[in-house]
Structure 1
Amino acid sequence: MLSPQDQLTELVRTLETQQHVFATDPLLITEKLQNEDGKPLQKLHRRASRIDSNGALARVLGKIDARIKGIMVVMSVVWCISGFLGLFTLLQTNVVNFFYVLVCLLGFHTIMLVGWLLMTLLNQGKQSSNWFASFVSPSYLIRGKDDVTQAAVDLYERQLQHSGMRWYLGRFSHQLWLATLTGMLFAIIFLLIVRQYSFSWESTLLSDQALISLTQVLGWLPSMVGFNVPDSTAIVQSRLVTDAMPLSVARQWAGLLVGSLLMYGIVPRAVAWMFCALMFRRKKMRLDIKQPYYQKILNFWQRQVVDKDDFEAAPAPIAPKATVSAGKKLVALLEYPSEQEQWWLSGINTDFDGNNDVENFGIVDDRDDMARLKTYLDNHPVQVLLGIHEKALPDRGTLRKLDQIASHAKDGLIVQLLGETGLIADKSEQETAGLEPVSENKNMRYQQWQTALSARNIGLVTDNK
């Protein structure tokens, strides 16, 4: 069967698909667990326990499990008592036919054990008939019409139909046989303590020598662990005994009887029980977390963690810093005028030599302005400083003008972004300088120009004041 944690987790899944109202909201618990550490199965167990915060689901599962185990214990006790009483009834005479009693003790048991072994070898990997599931159906063990009880009953019935249950049932069958044989052993020891028996044997077909050989073969394994075995003289003397026999001979037969019950009955059955227990552990039903219900939860947890750990915002493009040449400059405004007469001084005054000439071209706006500027640049090797007002948008038309100017400027093109008071700085620079920060729209437009200039490798003049 499933472990108690797996049972509770599976019961929560069944009830949640049936829209059951839990003590704690499953969605809330799922969200809280997304940042907790642990393996997927451990987190699913934790989730189920927190959803069942009042323990109602665990109590129903525990009640069914306790009643199934209680029935198994009661049946084992009954089988033990039946074995004790059966052998107690069989040994009511003072003279006991040894081989007759031995066949009664181990004959049917040996046939059933060999039959189980053959069926196990022949039915490898096949589902055995689940008589235990019908005999101990959970619906007989607990009464209730509520959805929790019905879901728990269905869960146990599904477990009883699992292929690994053949080993669980085999283990229980061997447990009943062990209980019966143990009851017989208690009866033999008790009767041998309180009564004195004589042991005999009878046979029409077998000679004394044949019985001697048979007894020695039968006594080989018990003698290996210290039990007494009758010798040849004791075996011959025990034929057709009708009254009391020497105590030493009786003790030899009693030791062989107890040793045979242990070595040919209890020990092989205990080995079979341990084999079924090991196979059941290997084939034990596991929680199938590949079901869509569990995968949806696990994917939610994994997706949240992966996004949080792996996401890195791409850095915004930044225009290269302008390099101001020592030669002649041509300054011009693109489309919009500036309120400052010598607006270019705020960006390049520290790089100027007083003897250098600066020619102010004015505003470049329409086609005539562009044609006049290109003609001038084709005839004069100057570096162009282009002032762009904050109102100018880096649309296709404006960027086309920028590309044309850059292609005709023989000593290169640099750009200075202007605001109402001159250069537009970013927010952090303005706060450092003690200026009032610009609006979000201005910052956005400033970044758009940064991106456009970076793509064209056009230098941007920074404030050197």
Structure 2
Amino acid sequence: MTTATTPLRQRLIAEALRLEEDRLGRILDDPVADARAREAGGDFEERVVRRAAETAAGHRFAGTLEGLIQVRFWLVLLAAGLALLAGIGAAAAVFGQGATVNIGWALAALLGLQLLMLLLWVLFTIYRPRGGGGALGRGAMAVAHGVGRRLSRRPDTAVVLSASLGLLRRGGLGRWIASALTHGLWATFCLGALLGSLFALSVRQYEFVWGTTLLTEESFVAMVGLLGAPAQWIGWPVPGEQVVRASRIGLDGTAGRELWSGLLLASLLFYGLLPRTILFGLSLLLVRRAAHRLRLDTGLPGYARLSDRLSPHARSIGVVDPDRARQDGPEAPPRGRPAPVTGPALLIGLELERDGGDWPPRVAAVDWIPLGRADDREQRNDVLAALRARAEPPGVVLVVCSLARTPDRGAERFFASLREQTRAPVWAVLDEGHRLAARGGPRAARVRQWQEAGTRAGLDYVLEAELDDAAHPGTRELTELLRPGSTT
């Protein structure tokens, strides 16, 4: 079986490819993969998954995923082995203190902590279902994530791990995987404690006693009867009232050795191993159901950019030329500073000179949704497709342009296409002015050229900024206009 055969793994590879393309700001061009995805048919998500599996990057991600799965398998196996040894060690600690065993201490040591953790798991599952799963399982997942990142030598490891974390947060999948790990490890601990106790009771004779200061003798007798009720239902012999009273500290400690041993083993089985095993199996079923129901969020810009490429019908390539009324008519007067944005801010890069690793730009207190780079005609079509595919209208569309370049007719056409595709305001953010200054170019004249091009194309605002310089006046103005929390 190959890595990409299960639907979950196929979607994970598609998610990893989306993250990689978002990082680059463009779609990885693979016409063969696009064609095969269109020929495969199905809905949009199925075509996205097929395209990812056909690309060279998808094959790399599949190999990386296979390696990470193997690492996680061995880590889970190691954790199970340690849990088994911990259970055996707990039993050895209980029965290694001498020939007399306090039944209360023995039950508390072998069952107390795990019953408390089981109660907390139930409470978190009921009252905080999104944060449930169990601390033990979430800790094991975090360790597996960190160790996998360190052990894997593949350069795509970080992308695949980020994709897996993103998918695990959706549909309860991660919660139920953590739950399965939690119950599986506790069940293994219980099995170790049960085997360790069985071995100790088989090779050595122990006397069982009990003592209490707060409880009355009648109360303790009732507690033992309640504790042994499940065992009695199946005919498992447990201490009766007479044996319990006779086993109090200071009396005849030899009473009912076999019955006390049976009660201890039955308690480990009925209150430890069986509940955890049942919950482990139930969690696995819920993991399977969540994985079956999991779907990619095709509304994300990284997927929306593919809508035209993977459409079985003819693609729309946007507006070929800007509106003649805008191009040939009288220029509109410059617009003043707009009001602060109250909706999601979409970000587009137009022929920037910054490397792909510097995309999207990071500005403190500003959060935006990158639609990608628009450096050539194909990428511009992809960005327009992503804009059309958005269900929620944006608060603003930001086009980051480079002052190191002179605005041409292609840039104006792209601005006009954006105006045709959305009713939201479209702003041009003039970045990379330091590159123009380093070349000795006329900064003020270049800014004026971009402002004139934006006016002809119908842009709502043109702002000069240095996005890598938080102290730049234009960057501060942009931060004020894009209020924190305005994006989705």
Name the TM tier (shorter chain): 0.5 to 0.7
Report if aligned partners of 1:11, 1:151 keep a CA contact under 8 Å in 2.
Answer: yes
Among residues 266, 271, 287, which one is paired with 2:273 in the alignment? 266
Among residues 55, 58, 65, which one is paired with 2:62 in the alignment? 58
Whichever of the two has the greater Rg, that structure is 1
Could you say which residue in structure 2 is the equivalent of 1:98?
A: 103
1:183 matched to 2:192: yes
Could you say which residue in structure 1 is the equivalent of 2:123?
A: 118
Could you say which residue in structure 2 is the equivalent of 1:78?
A: 82
Counterpart amino acid of 1:258? L
For 2:203 and 2:132, locate their aligned partners in 1 and report how far apart those are by CA, in whole Å: 48
Report if aligned partners of 2:85, 2:189 keep a CA contact under 8 Å in 1.
Answer: yes
Change (3 A) 1:19 1:211: closer
Following superposition, the deviation at residue 3 of structure 1 comes to 1.6
Cα deviations by residue, 1:400-428 (Å, 9 ceiling, x for unpaired) = xxxxxxxxxxxxxxxxxxxxxxxxxxxxx
1:221 matched to 2:242: no
For 1:275 and 1:26, locate their aligned partners in 2 and report how far apart those are by CA, in whole Å: 42
1:210 matched to 2:219: yes
Change (3 A) 1:74 1:132: closer
| TM score, norm. by length of structure 2 | 0.53
Secondary structure of the structure 2 residue equivalent to 1:245: coil
Mark the runs of 5 or more structure 1 residues left unpaired by the alignment: 308-465
For 1:33 and 1:156, locate their aligned partners in 2 and report how far apart those are by CA, in whole Å: 23
Change (3 A) 1:221 1:160: same
Cα deviations by residue, 1:28-78 (Å, 9 ceiling, x for unpaired) = 221244333445444443333322499432111111222223222212211
Counterpart amino acid of 2:274? V
1:13-412 to structure 2, matched below 5 A, reads 13-17=18-22, 26-38=30-42, 40-52=44-56, 55-92=59-96, 93-125=98-130, 134-138=142-146, 140-144=149-153, 146=155, 148-159=156-167, 164=172, 165-240=174-249, 245=254, 249-284=256-291, 285-297=294-306, 299-304=308-313
Secondary structure of the structure 1 residue equivalent to 2:258: helix
Aligned-residue RMSD, C-alpha: 3.7
Counterpart amino acid of 2:208? F
Following superposition, the deviation at residue 101 of structure 1 comes to 0.8
Mark the runs of 5 or more structure 2 residues left unpaired by the alignment: 1-5, 317-488
Secondary structure of the structure 2 residue equivalent to 1:199: strand
Secondary structure of the structure 2 residue equivalent to 1:304: coil
1:421-440 to structure 2, matched below 5 A, reads none
Following superposition, the deviation at residue 191 of structure 1 comes to 1.4
Change (3 A) 1:19 1:46: same
Report if aligned partners of 2:12, 2:167 keep a CA contact under 8 Å in 1.
Answer: no
Following superposition, the deviation at residue 119 of structure 1 comes to 2.4
Q: For this pair of structures, how many residues does the alignment match?
A: 303
For 1:144 and 1:305, locate their aligned partners in 2 and report how far apart those are by CA, in whole Å: 42
Cα deviations by residue, 1:107-151 (Å, 9 ceiling, x for unpaired) = 2222222122222222134588965565443464345473x3342
Change (3 A) 1:206 1:156: closer
For 1:125 and 1:152, locate their aligned partners in 2 and report how far apart those are by CA, in whole Å: 23
Change (3 A) 1:20 1:192: farther
| TM score, norm. by length of structure 1 | 0.56
1:3-18 to structure 2, matched below 5 A, reads 3-17=8-22
The sequence identity of aligned pairs, in percent, is 23
Secondary structure of the structure 2 residue equivalent to 1:261: helix
Change (3 A) 1:2 1:123: farther
Report if aligned partners of 2:247, 2:253 keep a CA contact under 8 Å in 1.
Answer: no
For 1:264 and 1:79, locate their aligned partners in 2 and report how far apart those are by CA, in whole Å: 17
Counterpart amino acid of 2:111? L
Change (3 A) 1:136 1:161: farther
Change (3 A) 1:2 1:90: farther
For 1:235 and 1:51, locate their aligned partners in 2 and report how far apart those are by CA, in whole Å: 71
Change (3 A) 1:195 1:305: farther
Secondary structure of the structure 2 residue equivalent to 1:137: helix
Report if aligned partners of 1:229, 1:253 keep a CA contact under 8 Å in 2.
Answer: yes
Following superposition, the deviation at residue 88 of structure 1 comes to 1.0
Following superposition, the deviation at residue 82 of structure 1 comes to 1.2
Following superposition, the deviation at residue 251 of structure 1 comes to 1.6
